[in-house]
Structure 1
Amino acid sequence: MKKVISFIIAIFMIVECFYPLKASAEDKITSSKAIEIAKSSFNLNTEGYNLNQNYIETNNRKVYELNWYSKKKDGGSIYVSVDAKTGEIINMSMWDGSTYTPRKIPKYSKSSAKAAAEEIVRKLQPDKFQKIKLIDNVNNIYDSDYYSDVYTFYFIRIENGIEVSDNGITVSVDKNSLKIRSYNLNWDNIEIPDISKVIGIDEAKEIFKEKLGLELSYSMSYNANSKKNTPILVYSLKNGNMPIDAFSGDIIKNGYYTPYINGLNKEDSKGSSQAGNLTVEEQKVIDVSSKYISKEKAIEIASKYLPLNEKYKLSSANLYSNNNNDTALWYLYWENSDPSAKIYNYMNAQIDAVNSEIKSFYYGGSDFDQPAKDKKPLYDKEKAKKIADDFIMSIYPDKFNQIEYKETNDYYAFNEENYVPSIYYFTYIRKTDGITYNFDSITVNVNTYTGKVTGFSMNWSNNLELPSKEGVIDIDKAYDILFSKLNFSLKFVKCYDYTKIDNQPKIKLAYVLTPFSGNMDAKSGSILDYSGNPIKIQKTPEYTDIKGNPNENNIKLLAEIGILKGTDNKFRPNDNILQKDFIKLLILSIDPYSYTLDDSYETYYEQAVNKKIISEKEKNPESEVTRQQAAKMIVKALGIGFVADITNMYDISRFKDGNSISPEYKGYVAISSELKVINTNDSYIYPLKSVSRGEAATIIVNFLNVNTDSKE
């Protein structure tokens, strides 16, 4: 008997060796094997690290999670997850404990990093490598690589020549060591549909026009000159941007985002009171605010719409005005709570303090949202909408004739056929002369058990200066531009059916339009970003006139990291650079996102003046920049101009032409030379010589290489 027990114990010990994390018996990979795979895949040196390991089963996947932590303080960490069935690396990320210093020119080019990324993918996934394509991350204003210490590459999965959305491999490569810093495999084991018998692209476009479509709308765009939001005319997507089933032509709704209607926006405000003498501006504020209704009046108005009684306590009453003080809102909030009785109810309202309009109200809680179990809804959607229509008509009859009901779908409701919500939400869009207002709407919530309006909000702009419709392109031209500027093509998309409890994803073949803000300028045809500005996509310039120039590599580098913009294939490296172009180059090297604001010299000068790189009196856009002037702007950009201004600190005798340096530039030239931003040539600094465009590129690269965070 003892021998039998000993044998059983031995068997259990053997099993535990192979499955120390209690993995499933069907798994082919042991935890020790997973560790071996992880270390060999990325040549990991884990000496001096502690290991923590987990075994996870989720979403039909079984994974070993391996976490190494350095024994040294701030010594770094390594994370690797390994598929317990296949041995595939799913995720890897590592940190060496160092802190990245922004604005560092990378040691290696993006092309070198790309080769390293492809090498690791080919090593870990030789079969899948044959089914992926690198997504070209065009060098545009949204390229996050500039502010990162890694290059990131995304390889998308391709099946039968068609992209599979949300499937692929992502790799991040260290810019200064070419080490793999992160790796992610996202590859669904789901059946890929047959691609035969799909509808043609022309038919798909017609379906897009009919079921999604464009419409002429007003949208808000921030005007940099007036410093305020201004209406612009756009063609916008009526029903969002969703995939079209390539076989049936139906819109694939579930799991896809559709633009929502903007709700009531709170105004910026600064509430304050001043004593003593008042300025003209302060008196204006006092005069306007004297017209605001009182708190008591605001409560009286809210009481018309809320079922208030003595049980409700007013917990807050705030009055906020906008920056111009021409509009103001009362924000009122009541509550009725008794935790011991499991009672919690709330009511709130927003009242226009100038014209006494109700802007919004909501109420809910245990007394309203939890009907008796045996109680059934009394109001279907049609009846509830009639209540909503009548409510708007009763309080804003003038606005009722300026709105249009917009049908929305609850794409995430379970058991959609039998689903009856406790509240219906109805949205109405402002529309006049056939043009919708993307920023103005009214929403009404109706309780299906009581038929009561439990929520209301109105976003309604007044005194708008609407743009003229003159010069608007016709709708057919708008569609031509849309399909030519944005990719509309077949893709495999992952879809979820939220009407089912067992919500397993499926891969569907669909026609998909490139995601975008949904707005196109109705006059120029420009595709707009979410701020209402034309999208500026800049591919890396490929200059044809820089080969053999001593500054060739630095010009290419600035183009690669997104500082040099434009589509012109001529750089003119031997031309002398103008002040306006040097300022633009310098500002973009500090912050490439400056390009998103307004690509005008005025904008770059404004930023340069604000950063104290140049003064207003020094502005001379068409002048050529001398080396000593470049030195001053560079040192100012480094934030150490105050040191350079102490001119008697610097010995410039080391320059053979030091006497040529203007006295006020001595410190700037000395510092820029010492930092190796502006280099000497055989001990000559040539302070009065004009800087060529090619030399300017090298100066900017040297500037970016200055380590202002070095510590002894």
Structure 2
Amino acid sequence: MIKNKFLGAFMAAAIVFGSLNPAFADLNNSVVAMHEQQKQVKISKEEARKIGMKEIKVLFGIDVSDFDENINFDSYMGICNWNIFWSKYIDEERIEFFVSVDSNTGKIRMLSKHENVNFDRNEKENAKIDLEKAKEIALDYIKQISPEKVNQIKLSDYDCFGNEYVFTYVRDIDGIEYDEDYITVDVDAVNGKMIGYYYTWLDNINFPKVDNIISKEEAEKLFDENIEVYLNYKSSFDSKTNKEKAMLVYNYRFKNSDMIDAKEGKFISWGGQSKEKEETRDIDESKKEEIFKNAKHSSKLEKNLTREEAVELIDKIIKELYNVDVELNNVQYLRDNYINSDGIWMADFVEKGNDKYVGNVIISALTGKLMNISMWDNDEKDEAFTPKLTWDEAYEKAIEAISEFFPEKIKDIKTEQIKYPLTYKFEGKEIQKRNIYFNFPRIVNGVEYYDNNIVIVVDMKTGQIRELDCFWNDKIEFEDIDNIISKEDAKKIFFKENKPKLKYINLNTDNDNLKYETKLIYMFTPVDLSKSVFDEINAHTGKATNF
């Protein structure tokens, strides 16, 4: 988790400041608003560039004036920034810097340095720096370049990746963590060199006082009342037999949220509201029997489909699903033990006379059964539209597709689906979701197995199915459901490995108006922070693990 955070430092501005995800707003309006904000800032692009270059020179002794450079403007939570990237190859190693400068104050809000060392060389050498020495190097470096931060941070997490140590220090306010402000240091375990540094820090945050809050015991009781423990299968590779197995594990989820407002003693979500009761939709057993009865169960052919036979069948499937004539490209046969040991035929396609609509398809070479098909709009724009279907109609369309293409599996999947909202609010606007996703997991011994499933995507603007995907491994071995620990025992283990932790968090408390507020919350957190979150328990051994 921390490693991903660190390696993503150079995309931080694009991700944190929200410019890469068009699903959150009308892009045209966003671009116009961004240009207007850019005109009003006090710090120019050139001034921000000089501020960043000076800081890098002071901290690292490196002049980046001849580095490759990229500058962009962005805003987040009302704060506008100039984001500057510098990179250069020096002695076959790439050095990269990222600086985010507040465009109104000139203050540096984020800064990172990373060196992509020659790992082919480095990984062949044995680590000479142990964990404690690497930790000392990391802290000494923070003292050197951010001395004012040393008494405001605590080591939250660390990990070792190959010959690298990664340490993450989070902001600490009187013993309470605020992990949205943090410093990460990456140390080379071979030579003790600091090869990565990243920090993000916001000043002038109003941290609420730690008074009139519920106790940890009260928070644990609330979590205990709202936790759901459920059994499912999880893929695991058996190195002894060299085969994939499906292991029985217990997982947990909360009916409301994994956060409790420490002052109010209520569950709270990222939108500031408690989670509403979920509504679901399903078909009854008689409907399943009807679909299964009418299924034409496929059998293996004597030999694989020829290219001509595969093309004819693919054309038929596309015509049946989309009612369009297409041109097939890149028709090829592949044999892959992971996808289908009997081999597959796959192809790309484009609608004849209209290259706007493109797609791809995969069928089994030995049964001719559809495995995956999708068709997407190349010119799709993020704009308002009137949906052609309700959620229930989209669900019915998904069931129809299963009846048509995968009817023999109708008794082997969980058909119940949660009715998620068709819209979301952003900056006070109600935005319609373009695509609705249905995930029908495989059921074995009455237990869900999400690594085998049928996924269907329905386009609410066109009313068409955008994607059908059926990934199914008939050769996988499933663990027996006998002699497993109970749900009650699994729950006790979860609460042994995880406890409520008091922390500060900055969240939006009003999706209509984007009102951000720093709150004191309890979060269900691992007792041992050096380990991954324990969200799985081996159902046979009772051991907390993470496959």
Q: Same fold, TM exceeding 0.5? A: yes
2:331 counterpart SS class: strand
Larger Rg: 1
Q: Which of 238, 243, 248 pairs up with 1:233?
A: 248
Which of 307, 328, 332 is the matching residue for 1:314?
328
1:184: how far off? 2.7
Match of 2:370 in 1: 358
Structure 1 partner of 2:310: 295
Q: Which residue of 2 aligns with 1:250?
A: 267
| Separation in 2, partners of 1:53, 1:371 | 30
Structure 2 unmatched runs, 5+: 1-40, 273-299, 527-531
Structure 1: gaps spanning 5 or more residues: 1-22, 256-286, 533-712
Report the equivalent of 2:436: 424
Greater alpha carbon shift after TM alignment, 84-93 vs 389-398? 84-93
SS of structure 2 residue aligned to 1:512? strand
Corresponding letter in the other structure for 1:121 = I
Do the aligned residues in 2 keep the contact of 1:94 with 1:182 (CA within 8 Å)? yes
Instruction: Report the Cα offset of residue 494 of structure 1.
Output: 4.3
Point out which structure has higher relative CO (alpha carbons under 8 A, 6+ apart): 2
Q: Which moved more, 1:92-101 or 1:104-113?
A: 92-101
Q: By how many angstroms is 1:479 displaced?
A: 1.6
Q: Distance in 1 between matches of 2:326 and 2:99?
A: 54
Q: Does 1:167 align with 2:181?
A: yes
1:268-326 per-position Cα deviation (integer Å, ceiling 9, x unaligned): xxxxxxxxxxxxxxxxxxx97616483256236515632344x4212243333444975
- Contact 2:388–2:460, Cα closer than 8 Å, also in 1: yes
Contact between 1:315 and 1:333, CA under 8 Å: does it hold in 2?
yes
Partner-residue secondary structure (3-state), 1:478 = helix
Given the alignment of the two structures, is residue 135 of structure 1 paired with residue 156 of structure 2, yes or no?
A: yes
- The equivalent position to 1:462 in structure 2, one of 474, 496, 506, is 474
Q: Is 1:385 matched with 2:395?
A: yes
The amino acid of 2:389's aligned partner reads Y
Give distance in 1, aligned partners of 2:129 and 2:463: 67
Deviation of the 1:198 alpha carbon = 4.2
Structure 1 residues 390 and 251: CA distance shift in structure 2, 3 A: farther
Report the Cα distance in structure 2 between the residues aligned to 1:96 and 1:427, rounded to whole angstroms. 39
Structure with higher strand content: 2
**Which deviates further from its counterpart, 412-421 or 385-394?**
412-421
Match of 2:200 in 1: 186
The alpha-carbon distance between structure 1 residues 488 and 412, as it changes in their structure 2 partners (threshold 3 A), is farther
Partner letter of residue 139 of structure 2? E
TM-score by length of 1: 0.53
Residue in structure 2 matched with residue 404 of structure 1 by the alignment? 415
Match of 1:330 in 2: 345
Asked whether the 8 Å contact 1:298–1:330 carries over to 2, the reply is no
Question: Hey, what's the Cα distance between the residues in 2 that align with 1:37 and 1:370?
Answer: 40
The correspondence of residues 305-704 of structure 1 with structure 2, limited to 5 A, is 305-309=320-324, 311-323=325-337, 327-336=342-351, 338=353, 343-365=355-377, 376-393=386-403, 396-402=406-412, 403-407=414-418, 409=420, 413-415=424-426, 418-449=430-461, 451-462=463-474, 464-486=476-498, 488-495=500-507, 509-514=521-526, 516=533, 518-529=535-546, 532=547
The answer to whether the Cα contact below 8 Å between 1:488 and 1:513 also exists between their aligned partners in 2 is: yes
8 A contact 1:216–1:234 mirrored in 2: yes
Number of residue pairs the alignment of both structures matches: 461
Is the partner of 2:494 in helix, strand or coil?
helix
Residue identity matched to 1:218: Y
Deviates more, 1:432-441 or 1:492-501: 492-501
Quote the Cα distance in structure 2 between the aligned partners of 1:440 and 1:243.
27
Matches of 1:107 and 1:232, distance apart in 2: 38
Q: Tell me, in whole angstroms, the C-alpha distance in 2 between the residues paired with 1:45 and 1:377.
A: 55
CA contact (8 A) 1:413 1:498 kept: no
CA RMSD of aligned residues (A): 5.0
Does the Cα contact within 8 Å between 1:337 and 1:345 map onto a contact in 2? no
Aligned to 1:548: none
What is the alpha-carbon distance in structure 1 between the residues aligned to residue 319 and residue 91 of structure 2? 63
- 1:167 shift after superposition: 1.9
Residue 216 (1) aligns with residue 231 (2): yes
2:343–2:365 contact (8 Å) kept in structure 1: yes
Match in the other structure for 1:612:
none
SS at match of 1:143: strand
Counterpart of 2:163 in structure 1 is 147
Change (3 A) 1:337 1:494: farther
Q: Aligned in 2, Cα 1:476/1:38: closer, same or farther, shift over 3 Å?
A: same
> How far apart in 2 are the matches of 1:326 and 1:132?
53
